[in-house]
Chains A and B, each alone.
Chain A
Amino acid sequence: MRRFKIKNKIVGLLVLTPLLFSTVSCKKDFLELAPEISIPSEFVFSSADRIESQVAGIYSSIKNGQFYGGRYLIYNDIRSEEFVNQRQNNVTGYSTYQFSNDETDSYVADFWIRGYLTINRINIFLEGIEEVGTDILPADKKSQLVGEVKFVRALTYYSLVQLFAKPYAADNGASKGIPLRLLAERNSENNDLPASPVKDIYSQIIKDLNEAEAAVPATYGDATTQSTRAHKNTVIAFKSRVYLAMKDYAKVISESNKIVSATAPFKASTGVPHQLAPAIKDVFTNYTINERILSFPFEANNAPGTQNQLGYYYNEGNIEYSLSPDGIFGSASWPTTDDRKKEMTAKSSDGKLNLLTKFSGASPFLDWIPAIRYSEVLLNLAEAEAEAGSQVRALALLKAVRNRSDAAYTFPASPSKATLVEAILLERRIEFLGEGLRVPDLQRRNMPINSEGAGRLVQPNDERYTFPTPLVEIITNPGVNN
């Protein structure tokens, strides 16, 4: 009888058991978990703020230290005659410096990967914003944001095609270029895509820039935004660089004239009032000064990341590269009276090396990236005028840049066209030392690269003249180079 009672209790327990189970299992959503500190894609076009936040994200994507936030500039300088490697470290470009970087080089591959990642982020954004109604985002704002990201896409494609494909100048863009990706990629399709010809990439760049120019604002409300996001003059300035690479001097002149006055003092009369800063030093201490048309900003919470920082490479940060006595630093054409030499180069602390001190920030190396400067537009225009326009104006533009830093320097009164072009190219070596323009300046004229690292002239027909397509691309896209 007693035992029976116990059994009854046990039956009661049996009834309780499902309750135990239910503590976790019967919650329908036990297995439904969503990421907590990342944002699932269904929310990203839900408000104007989030859409604008995506645009800031796209800018942050191109300014990644592995891309335009450091390495784009670095690769284009260390391949030249201007710098001597001090660390023999492949991570900081030793193989690139020696022209021995091959298709397996993971840092060069990473540059490619970062570039295309930015492009796809833009393509996804462009696809998504299409559907957004005016209830969420006003039409003019929508058009502005589309314009901005198209500008970033053009800048990204230009960086990639410049490093990984033969120059446009070699054969008017007939050479094999790079894959032209314009679709939003989110799934496993479309792995295969052959490289488009160089000229198709340039056409797309120009198309994006023309559309951007029409859509972006002339000015922004504050200096920081104005220096770090694309406005009309930014797009125009960059077009002058692209047309110069295409040797379309007429276009360089017509675009540049939109933002350069006919005579000195040269300045932009519409939009953001760009002009040369009175002293070159100011350009590298005041990042929002009007001479800096586009900069990529860094703050302590979005620093360039290790082994990407300009000050780490060229300055006391780690002295990865010092100035070569065989380069422009040792040239008589760059007198010591020049502010750019006096104020932007110095001896290393042990007195043995010459350093570029333009990027002076120490850790965490927050020197903003000078992506486009007004002095570049002036020299772009000068070169185009020298080649296909007014030699007088060309010389005036050249003087404006030189005499800003070396007032006493005098050029011959009426130089020959060839001498003038040579002087402009030389001026660019001085003015943009460490700003990533040296190798593009050689390539766009199809000239050999006088490599300090390889100890030889690398001719345009050399397979190492441009970067090889990374192995990771070839493996998943075997027809890329066909």
Chain B
Amino acid sequence: MKQRLLSMLVLCVLLIGSAYAQNRQVSGTVTSATDGTPISGVSVRVVGTSTATQTSGDGSYTISVPDNNGSLSFTYIGYQSFQTAIGTRAVINVQLASDDETLDEVVVTGYMVQSKKDFTGASAKVSGETVANRPLQSFTQGLTGQASGVNIIQPSGVLNNPPVVRVRGLSSLSLSSFPLVVVDGIPISTGDVSENSAANNPLGDINPEDIESVDILKDAASTAIYGSRGAAGVLLITTKRGKAGAAKVSYDGWFGSSKAVRLAELMNAEQYIAHKNNAIKNAREINPKLSTASYPVDGGFFPTLDANGNPVDTRWYDFVYDTGISHNHNLSVSGGNEATKYFFSGNLSDQDGILVKNSFKRKGVRANIDHKVTDWFKLGANLNFTNSANNSPNSGSVAGAAFNTSGLGRIAMVQAPNVPGYLPNGDYNVTGSSIGKGANVLAPNYPNPLPIRDLDKNSSETNRFFANINSTFNLLDGLTLNNNFTWDLRNTNNQQFWNPINGDGYSFNGYAYNNSAKSNNWVVLNSLVYNKSFGDHNLVVLAGHEAQSTRVENWGGVRYDLTDWYFNQYQGNFLTNDAGGNGIGENRIQSFLTSLNYNFANKYYFTANFRRDGLSALAAGKKWGNFGGVSAGWTISQEEFFKSSSLANVVSNLRLNASWGRVGNSAISNSYGSFDIYDPTIYGNAGGMIFTQAGNRELGWETSDQTNFGIDVGFLDNRVSLEASYYNKDHNGLILAVPQTPSKGIPGNSILMNIGSMYNRGFEFALNVRAVQKENFKWTTTLNFSTNKNEVTALDNEGRPLIATTAGLETTSITEVGKSAAQIYAVPTNGVNPANGRRIFINRDGEEVQYLHNAPNTEGFYSYSYLDGTRAAGVAGDAVAAGNTLPTYFGGFNNNFQFGNFDATLNFTFSGGNYIYNGTRAGLRDQRIWNNSVDMLDSWTPENKNSDIPRAIYGDNISNGSAFAIQSNIEKGDFIRLQTASLGYRLPSSIFGKSGISSLRVYAAVNNAFLITKYTGVDPEISSNGDGNLNSGVERNSMPNGRTFTFGINLGF
């Protein structure tokens, strides 16, 4: 019965179909696959005929079709075109997938927007969608693996810790290597604006959901228009603006949960007690004269019993790490008509990190309007207000904090596990500035993490106002005058409080440090653009003038010695008050710029840029510099000979590009580097001044010459496209903080000089394949792969290396001629002597030297000895460059799937060819009172002679690398990571009825899903020294990154 009914139905459908077979109407709606919103203006065409129409404002269309055998094609700029057989259908609804890689896309190239066809430089575009709706604080984190030539490292799991961003390698040694970031035309500051443990990346002030696109300019021909500011590449952020059409309202929200991953496995209380007491025994055996106070004859560590009489076994990780819950909401309204377009958005992000009490909260509103006053006069304005609040306990995981005694990332590892956090009466277990020692005889030297976690406060809160007003006058046919004023006003309040009970604040009896920074940044840009075609000659000429001023005023104070422990804030009452965190700095830049773009018949392209920049921070007479670049392109596939060849059937696009340019680096953090300076000081009660800076009155521009060759090939109607390029960046006249012999007494032991050179070379490939394009199943895959070879070719006149430290304490890095910058600087090792368990080092003469801690320096028991037991000199000064820290290859492998109403992404990132100094391991194997990783249980003993871990001798901080860096802690940094995986479902629009809802998508995603690496530290993508040029590739006590699961919805009206 059922079957019969079904066949009747089929028959009816067929009958209806045939009845309309001649010139019937087909209708439907075209929506965006990304967010389900209707797309108006889509060209709908019956293939092979002239019958065509466009979708209306709600995305609907009706078209008359001749028969059932034909096909319909749907095309729209910015989306992949789509073709489907009509068959018997009367309703054909289509979703178009956005297409970031099509040649129709535009490139924002500094001061202008160009069609990608006309662009002959090297750039990459990342759409706003890539960075939106993800558990990120700043868009930069979302660029990982998305663009060739762009390498991103998330330095630790602290929220809003600024990522390390390198475009085509390390671009400077002493100036910033972070690319210039331009938001809607204004270059803004980068770095970390916090004064305390709460990281505060000013780029986190930009709501990622407000970003339309990120254009990354990589070669000099593209960045030359930024002149002195383009050496490290340029990230151009374009924020969303209104589009003509009915008002569109959309809401995006997600909820997420993060957890710490890859924490090192530590000894428990029982293992700790046995191991440390054994280490004391070993030490006394070697040197019986050791102080019994520090090396007790009967051991130093004993079980502490809790109130129930059970031995205490504390897993400190459980007190420091927690599941971080986050949520994010974004609401926007956009619309307008041909004359006036508007966009409003509001955003709230409330994120908690994996570290307890680490949070990031951002609230922001944005409004912009574009209005055509007359046919020759347009006005636009953009207003954005953001409040970003960063809170964190001392993680020890922001740049420079690696050795903080109160760094929770570190204490959670090294704190003794056999003492409790709380005493039985509920008080914190403390003695002086450290944790209480329980039943141990020897006293721990680290604080109790609980009062630090609970009572210390670090916050950095920014209020930021961006405003832009711009006007465009059409003066003559093709000639426009653009005037632009942008204002970026930032107020950051940094607040710090250290409790008087334990930790850093103990000896101060409570300590508070507040600082307020006002950054007033404005830029004025006026430009004339002439854009005209004469037959096959297409010409765009730009001339402009730009001036920017950035003034930062800091003021603050330090207060300590509380009068009452009731107070826990700066405003409380303290006995001592002092100035702190005061400063004024101002930087100005002024430029004259011009560019010429020309193409002939869309086949031959030529671009030239020239810019003259003046920078206040340089020496008088050296302030001005000239920069520029040229590039050319040849679209072979537009040539008749190509079109007529058989190759054209397969190769749909073939294009060659070449460019050369000279750009500069104006990212000088010292605004007054040319001056000899005296700073005020106080001696007792007398005011004084001291010489604090040897300036360079010759300080001039740092420049780099960059060459780029590129080829773009598209196959099968651009279904497969490949962009390949080769680049060579020669950085000349590097501004180098040239090390000065300390005995000369130059403040800071360095002088900024224009000396030094370096190159970066490499290949980049971006392969984009629309692998499957069925109506119900689409799969797009992109693979980007980049190589980079960095080599320093000259340093100061004497060719002496640059030495750098980790957190100012441990010498870990060296930069020398003939090698890549920031090599790991470690003393070579050759395992452990199986005969006696001593660490074997290789000294500068290539000899094996073994080390014995606390040696009595008697015959056979020397600190340093040759393997035959004769006395040898120490090896600490025998470090060598022992490993490249800059990845030599990296990339991303990104997949988008769409099947029916489902969509999915799988984005992998990978990187390698570099080494990491795993300094955390030195700490985990340190034989002082610190807890150790469980691998120490496998250290050398007379019964376990083949271990590669030296014999445990109490107090030994040398054999495993705590005193100076050693080669055995160097590891390869190669990895592949599933960065994001997501699965979404778009509810069928039929269910919304008349509710007004036009689309609704729900999704689940995971960030940092898994990691495949042989690296044994917390994460191969780590940098305890943050964005440092000279000390990259070091992990020292940093907390790991988290794994985050998110669930979200995208709702459209």
Contact = CB atoms under 8 A, between A and B. Distances in A.
Interface of A: 6-7, 10, 13-14, 17, 20-21, 23-25, 30-41, 44, 50, 53-61, 63, 84-91, 94-95, 98, 100, 102-106, 109, 112-113, 116-121, 123-124, 178-179, 181, 185-188, 190-193, 224-225, 228, 297-303, 306, 312, 316-319, 324-326, 350, 362-364, 452-456, 458, 462-463, 468, 470-478, 480
A476 B873 contact: no
B76 interface: no
B509 A476 contact: no
Contacts of A56: 681, 683, 686-689
B502 to A, nearest CB: 12
Given A188-B796, A302-B682, A25 B547 contact: yes
B691 A102 contact: no
B874 interface: yes
A40 B688 contact: no
17 contacts: A13-B481, A25-B547, A38-B675, A40-B677, A88-B955, A89-B445, A100-B963, A102-B877, A104-B964, A116-B745, A186-B676, A299-B685, A302-B684, A363-B507, A363-B508, A363-B561, A476-B741
B514 to A, nearest CB: 17
B70 interface: no
B925 to A, nearest CB: 15
A20 B473 CA distance: 14
B769 to A, nearest CB: 49
Interface in B924-945: 928-929
A88 B803 CA distance: 26
B289 interface: yes
Given A100-B963, A476-B800, A455 B287 contact: yes
B800 A475 contact: yes
A116 B801 CA distance: 21
Contact of A53 (B289, B689, B693, B798): B689
Contact of B287 (A100, A301, A456): A456
Contact of B560 (A120, A364, A471, A477): A364
Contact of B291 (A33, A303, A317, A326): A326
B856 A455 contact: yes
B590 A31 contact: yes
B857 interface: yes
A25 B688 contact: no
A57 B690 contact: yes
Given A34-B672, A113-B742, A364-B508, 4 more contacts: A38-B675, A38-B678, A41-B677, A118-B745
B168 to A, nearest CB: 30
B753 to A, nearest CB: 6
Nearest to B686: A56
Contacts of B796: 188
A473 B741 contact: yes
Given A13-B481, A89-B445, A325-B293, A191 B744 contact: yes
Contacts of A324: 291, 293
B475 interface: yes
B382 to A, nearest CB: 20
Given A119-B745, A301-B579, A363-B509, A30 B676 contact: no
B805 interface: yes
A60 B743 contact: no
B1005 interface: no
Interface residues of B, number: 114
Contact of B689 (A13, A57, A91, A225): A57
Contact of A60 (B509, B588, B688, B811): B688
B578 to A, nearest CB: 5
A301 B682 contact: yes
B376 interface: yes
Contacts of A120: 691, 744-746
B744 A190 contact: yes
Nearest to A121: B691
A324 B693 CA distance: 43
8 closest A-B pairs by CB: A120-B745, A56-B688, A297-B684, A102-B876, A41-B676, A57-B688, A57-B690, A455-B290
B856 A103 contact: no
Contacts of B676: 40-41, 186
B955 A188 contact: no
Contact of A61 (B293, B431, B590, B690): B690
Interface string B586-622: 1110100000000000000000000000111100100
Contacts of B713: none
B289 A121 contact: no
B507 A297 contact: no
A80 to B, nearest CB: 13
A91 B579 contact: no
Given A23-B524, A98-B854, A188 B753 contact: yes
Contacts of A302: 681-684
Contact of B616 (A33, A187, A362, A453): A33
Contact of A39 (B623, B680, B857, B879): B680
B738 interface: yes
Contact of A59 (B433, B688, B962): B688
Contact of A477 (B509, B524, B741, B809): B741
Given A106-B809, A324-B293, A117 B747 contact: yes
B13 interface: no
Nearest to B879: A104
Given A191-B798, A476-B740, A103 B291 contact: no
Nearest to A107: B809
A469 to B, nearest CB: 9
Contact of A456 (B689, B857, B957): B857
Contacts of B753: 188
Contacts of B738: 188
A13 B963 contact: no
B294 interface: yes
A33 B671 contact: yes
B684 A84 contact: no
Interface string B306-340: 00000000000000000000000000000000000
Contact of A86 (B443, B617, B747, B800): B443
A261 B901 CA distance: 103
Contacts of B433: 318
B405 interface: yes
Interface in B665-721: 671-672, 675-694, 696
> Counting chain A CB atoms within 10 Å of each CB, which of B290, B507, B576 scores highest?
B507
Contacts of B445: 86-89
Nearest to A84: B293
A59 B683 contact: yes
B808 interface: yes
A365 to B, nearest CB: 8
A453 B740 CA distance: 34
A463 B675 contact: no
B739 interface: yes
Nearest to B962: A90
Contacts of A453: 291
A318 B810 contact: no
B294 A84 contact: yes
Interface in B598-651: 614-617, 620, 623
> Counting chain A CB atoms within 10 Å of each CB, which of B476, B615, B746, B805 scores highest?
B746
A344 B677 CA distance: 43
Contacts of A60: 681-683, 688, 690
Given A30-B547, A53-B688, A471-B811, A363 B672 contact: no
Contacts of B583: 37
Nearest to A454: B854
